[in-house]
Chains A and B, each alone.
Chain A
Amino acid sequence: MGVKKRVPAKISAPGCGIARAGWLGYYPQAHKRGKEAAIVTVWDRWRIPIMLTPTLAVIIFLFLGGLTYGALVSLGWQPIIGRTEISLRAYHSIMFSEQYAEAFWQGLALTIWVSVGSTVISALLALASALLLRRSFFGKRLATFLYQLNLPVPHVVAAIGILFLFSQSGLLSRTGAQLGLFDFPRDFPILVKDRFGIGMMLSFVWKEVPFVGVIVLAVLQSLGVDYEDLARSLGANRWQRFVYVILPLVMPGLLSGSILVFAFTFGSYEVPAILGVRFPRMLTVTAVRFFQNPDLNARTEGMAISVIISIIVFFLVLGYMWLSRRTVRQD
């Protein structure tokens, strides 16, 4: 994920390192460039801030601005309808009121179950499939191409595809019927629009396996087989090579891919809206429903749910990154 860091061999912007003594430590040879410090121009000093400004403007005004304003609304601040007092009423109402509490906690449980489940299953299958596709075999190029074919398929379409495949009158059910397993669509188990989020997980896993797999495959391919050959020559068997050589090397890629998958599934709307049920309902769908309510007061509850979603995702990802920093070498 991280941007590659590099100490430039030659610095064409002296203003960013020479003028202030505190920064000299970054550059091993900075003391040799004493002369350049004399010709620092205003442009040099402001160069980096100016270059960063357009992107930061988008992030600060649209991203942080939207989040902050949303958080304010969730606290009951809606000057448009004359409400300027700040309170935690909406949070209290969602989490503890008789009307909403059950839907919220069940929805939270379902959201965590679906996103954690999809992430773990996707990561495992991605690792397995990357190992399959790494070996050289006849037709490898074609197989790799077909493997990546669903990467640009949007989640709306993925959800519909799962519906076509796994609904009670879908392709799988029809195949079963041809084999004499079922007589009627109703004999087929409910796998989409089900209480346990199986349909959503199928949809997410179908989309994310190639996504994480491509990342892992790229790592495996760039490593080559040298490390494994070395381990083999030292007497490591297949399993030992996997656990002690391959796994530690692909772990950073696997983890960063999983973080993106988890964060995405936790906050995604389309798949739960198409493949979910009324109860329990995924948190994002509940939030959007509150938001669509013509009564502007309901927005407060909708915003509160989406703030809760953001906070949970943020801290889970942070904790996950902290854990993986500790257990995985980052280099």
Chain B
Amino acid sequence: MVAQLANHDHSARQRLLRALHYAAVVLLIFLLLTPLIAFLFNAFSFRWFYPQLFPTELSLRAWESIVAANSKVPEALLNSTILAVGVTVSSVVIGLPAARALGLYKFRGKRVIEFLIISPTIVPGIAVAMGLNINFIRWGLSGNLLGVGLVHLVPVMPYVVLTLAGVFANYDPDFEQQARSLGAGALRTFWHVTLPAIFPGIVVASLFAYLISWSQYILTFLIGAGQVITMPVLLFSTASGSNNPLIAAMSLVFVAPAILILVLTARFLSGKSSAIGGFGQL
């Protein structure tokens, strides 16, 4: 009897705990999502007067001005895409050999090299960009996509190299030896042996390179000198105005590709990867 009572009491307490747990989870998710919901409200609102919680008049005006002929959004989207793709491809090509060296071998000075490669994650980008600004003007790299792309490499390289080095740390180079001894050339070995083995790492590294470049504002602004209009640059200047529906709609256009890319590549991402730190740079 007593035992039964205790048992009953126990399960009641557990049910209460479970309900509390659910309430906490729902609250957490709600708090994280409300800012995103605020964008949807604003983007379709029209004459949304103060005490109204929901916009009573809906309008597509903001969206029309985004696709209008004089809109800068298409140009900004194009620039952002060219930059992000270019930075992604070149950072992986540049970082792959270094990642292999760091992942597979021990050598003198390795800790110093690692520290050097990680250091851009700690030092603020504005210090680097301000220093480069004058020289880039002199070399003709200011105000164009090439110069801006080069500067984007600075925050991107640490995450690309770290991710790929992590993959190479669990990689057995003997398979390459076997392929070579069976007569495959260096390129074929890379294509058929190395690449498939490190592919998941390349996807994750590319994801971070893309996202970091995509969301970069201050480096683009300082090196682009107002000539290179990317989505963050355009959004930032729009945000200093007061056209809330336009600001919201533009934000959604800017964020959607980033979220889509994350969703598409999520299965390659494990939270244990050291590259997850890349999210801290966005």
Residues of A within 8 A of B (CB): 1-8, 10-13, 16-17, 23, 26, 47-48, 50-56, 58-60, 62-71, 73, 78, 80, 129, 132-133, 135, 137, 139, 143, 146-165, 169-171, 174-175, 177-178, 184-185, 206-211, 214-215, 217-219, 221-222, 256-257, 259-261, 263-264, 266-270, 273-274, 284, 287-288, 291, 299, 302-303, 306-307, 309-310, 313-314, 317
A-B contact count (CB 8 A): 327
Q: Judging by beta carbons under 8 Å apart, are B272 and A218 in contact?
A: yes
The chain B residue with its CB closest to the CB of A261 is B280
B104, CB-defined interface residue at 8 Å: yes
Distance to closest chain A CB from B98 (angstroms): 4
Q: How far is the CA of A26 from the CA of B110 in the complex (A)?
A: 13
A68-B131, A147-B28 in contact; A55/B50 too (CB < 8 A)?
A: no
Within 8 A of A (CB), among B115-137: 116-135
A161-B35, A171-B38 in contact; A71/B131 too (CB < 8 A)?
A: yes
CB neighbours (8 Å) of A17 from chain B are 106-107
Within 8 A of A (CB), among B1-45: 18, 21-22, 24-25, 28-29, 31-36, 38-39, 41-42
CB neighbours (8 Å) of B35 from chain A are 150, 158, 161-162, 164-165, 206
CB neighbours (8 Å) of A26 from chain B are 106
B261, CB-defined interface residue at 8 Å: yes
A151-B282, A154-B232 in contact; A274/B38 too (CB < 8 A)?
A: no
CB neighbours (8 Å) of A153 from chain B are 36, 255, 258-259, 282
Q: Judging by beta carbons under 8 Å apart, are B218 and A314 in contact?
A: no
The chain B residue with its CB closest to the CB of A220 is B271
A152-B211, A158-B35, A306-B130 in contact; A214/B279 too (CB < 8 A)?
A: yes
A3-B114, A165-B35 in contact; A63/B154 too (CB < 8 A)?
A: yes
Q: Judging by beta carbons under 8 Å apart, are B169 and A288 in contact?
A: no
A-B contact pairs, 28 of them (CB 8 A): A3-B103, A3-B274, A6-B103, A10-B174, A13-B105, A17-B107, A52-B97, A52-B113, A53-B97, A54-B95, A58-B153, A62-B153, A65-B131, A66-B127, A66-B129, A66-B132, A146-B29, A150-B36, A152-B255, A152-B262, A156-B217, A156-B235, A161-B251, A165-B34, A174-B52, A214-B271, A218-B272, A267-B125
| Interface class of chain A by DSSP | helix
Q: How far is the CA of A156 from the CA of B254 in the complex (A)?
A: 10
Q: Judging by beta carbons under 8 Å apart, are A302 and B130 in contact?
A: yes
Question: Of B66-74, B160-168, B196-204, which stretch is located at the interface?
Answer: B160-168
CB neighbours (8 Å) of B107 from chain A are 16-17, 23, 48
**Interface extent on B, as a size class?**
35 or more
Set B53, B153, B244: member contacting A164, Cβ < 8 A: B244
A69-B134, A132-B28 in contact; A313/B124 too (CB < 8 A)?
A: yes
Distance to closest chain B CB from A260 (angstroms): 4
Q: Judging by beta carbons under 8 Å apart, are B215 and A154 in contact?
A: yes
Q: How far is the CA of A307 from the CA of B128 in the complex (A)?
A: 9
Within 8 A of A (CB), among B72-122: 93-95, 97-98, 100-108, 113-114, 116-122
B51, CB-defined interface residue at 8 Å: yes
Within 8 A of A (CB), among B223-282: 232, 235-236, 239, 244, 247-248, 251, 254-255, 258-259, 261-262, 270-272, 274, 276-277, 279-282
Q: Judging by beta carbons under 8 Å apart, are B131 and A73 in contact?
A: yes
A7-B106, A214-B276 in contact; A149/B124 too (CB < 8 A)?
A: no
Set B52, B94, B244: member contacting A55, Cβ < 8 A: B94
Q: Judging by beta carbons under 8 Å apart, are A80 and B106 in contact?
A: no
Q: Judging by beta carbons under 8 Å apart, are A67 and B279 in contact?
A: no
CB neighbours (8 Å) of A16 from chain B are 105-107
CB neighbours (8 Å) of A288 from chain B are 126, 218, 222
Q: Judging by beta carbons under 8 Å apart, are A67 and B128 in contact?
A: yes
A55-B161, A66-B129, A165-B35 in contact; A267/B25 too (CB < 8 A)?
A: no
Q: Judging by beta carbons under 8 Å apart, are A51 and B50 in contact?
A: no
Set A4, A267, A268: member contacting B169, Cβ < 8 A: A4
CB neighbours (8 Å) of A48 from chain B are 101, 105, 107
Q: Judging by beta carbons under 8 Å apart, are B124 and A6 in contact?
A: no
Distance to closest chain B CB from A71 (angstroms): 7
Distance to closest chain A CB from B273 (angstroms): 8
B157, CB-defined interface residue at 8 Å: yes
A12-B177, A147-B28, A218-B270 in contact; A67/B123 too (CB < 8 A)?
A: yes
Q: How far is the CA of A263 from the CA of B258 in the complex (A)?
A: 23
Distance to closest chain B CB from A126 (angstroms): 11
Set B22, B126, B217: member contacting A267, Cβ < 8 A: B126
CB neighbours (8 Å) of B133 from chain A are 291
CB neighbours (8 Å) of A149 from chain B are 32-33, 36, 259
Q: Judging by beta carbons under 8 Å apart, are B130 and A291 in contact?
A: yes
Distance to closest chain B CB from A41 (angstroms): 15
Q: Judging by beta carbons under 8 Å apart, are A62 and B132 in contact?
A: yes
B209, CB-defined interface residue at 8 Å: no
CB neighbours (8 Å) of B166 from chain A are 3-4
Distance to closest chain B CB from A265 (angstroms): 10
The chain A residue with its CB closest to the CB of B129 is A66
Q: Judging by beta carbons under 8 Å apart, are A155 and B215 in contact?
A: yes
Q: How far is the CA of A193 from the CA of B280 in the complex (A)?
A: 23
A48-B105, A171-B41 in contact; A313/B123 too (CB < 8 A)?
A: yes
Set A155, A218, A221, A314: member contacting B123, Cβ < 8 A: A314
Q: Judging by beta carbons under 8 Å apart, are B32 and A270 in contact?
A: no
Q: Judging by beta carbons under 8 Å apart, are A211 and B39 in contact?
A: no
CB neighbours (8 Å) of A291 from chain B are 130, 133, 222
